[in-house]
Homo-oligomer: A and B are copies of this chain.
């Protein structure tokens, strides 16, 4: 098979440390599957600001577009707090989503059996939890115009953002959710705030129409975003796929991640539309952030990024077997008691980033 081009963007904070471990796994995959990789590395976020003055360069965008998949660490940290809104590290990831047309952010919200006690939620409420959050990621208030801060004639100021969704954008992301539901033999809960926002009302209408036309076999429900936050705490296992906007998805997926008690374990994939050359643009990144407080200390949990790599094997390279091997290796090291500090509990073996990476490799 043809060589796959991978662009790795480790970014800031713990990004570089965990990326190092993920690259060892990538080597293993190369040596133990039909896949071969051409890996290129570049800078994004604060690391790119330090080098190039901006969080995302044209060159990186071009490389990302030319790649078969992007493996992403994390961006941001207090170092760049005063940098200005138009240069902030977060534009690294927001810009990549937009430039590559990565509209479907799939956030895996699962509870690992061996970590069920790590959550603040009672084990009987979350055991076996397996939700996929399908978050729209190139629209909504993240990109809507007009936006900005204006000084009024009386010297006071006004800050404006615009939540905007077209029926095209809504239908496109809803399709992803319904297709996934079909694969999983699951059901979809579409979440908005249609009792307050017209954009949410349109969301509900478009999802309902598409469901009627093409996906009537998939159970569909609708829920308001405030109620969804409540229901996630009350009874998260009622959900299979949650379909929602960029902003609600940001909040609800972080909430969901924390419910699992396994934040340091959760991967995500962000996918675009299939290109003429057959490639589906894709970026894989952990749900956790750059954790500047523990950066450079060798304490970070590399498993979320390694599991993101497993998602890459599955979604971008159709390597289900190898993907499963990686996932199972991660589960096995947990079962063996290996724990980075973020998931440590009594009686387990405390390890660092590198040891954890090595343990997965050994298991493979």
A interface residues (Cβ-Cβ under 8 A, vs B): 76, 85, 88, 90, 94, 120-122, 125, 141-142, 144, 147-149, 152, 156-168, 193, 195-203, 206, 225-227, 229-230, 232-235, 247-248, 250-255, 257-259, 263
Contact = CB atoms under 8 A, between A and B. Distances in A.
Contacts of A259: 233
A162 B233 CA distance: 29
Contacts of A157: 166-167, 202, 206
A225 B246 CA distance: 13
**Quick one: copies of this chain in the complex?**
2
A172 B105 CA distance: 37
Contact of A167 (B94, B156, B193, B206): B156
A164 B159 CA distance: 6
A201 B163 contact: no
B198 A226 contact: no
Nearest to A203: B159
Given A167-B157, A234-B258, A195 B76 contact: yes
B255 A233 contact: yes
Contacts of A156: 166-168
26 contacts: A85-B201, A120-B233, A120-B234, A120-B235, A141-B197, A142-B196, A149-B201, A156-B167, A159-B198, A160-B164, A160-B199, A161-B163, A161-B197, A161-B198, A161-B199, A196-B247, A196-B250, A225-B250, A226-B251, A226-B253, A229-B254, A230-B254, A230-B258, A230-B263, A233-B259, A234-B258
Shortest Cβ-Cβ A-B pairs, 5 listed: A159-B202, A159-B199, A229-B255, A230-B258, A226-B254
A90 B148 CA distance: 30
A160 B162 contact: yes
Nearest to A196: B142
Contacts of A235: 120
A147 B225 CA distance: 19
A235 B165 CA distance: 34
Contacts of A251: 225-226, 229, 248, 251
Contacts of A206: 157
Contacts of A162: 160-163
B122 A201 contact: no
A141 B232 CA distance: 24
A218 to B, nearest CB: 21
A199 to B, nearest CB: 4
Given A141-B196, A161-B199, A233-B233, 12 more contacts: A90-B196, A121-B121, A122-B122, A149-B199, A156-B168, A159-B166, A160-B198, A160-B199, A193-B250, A196-B247, A225-B251, A229-B229
A204 to B, nearest CB: 10
Contacts of A165: 158-159
A227 to B, nearest CB: 7
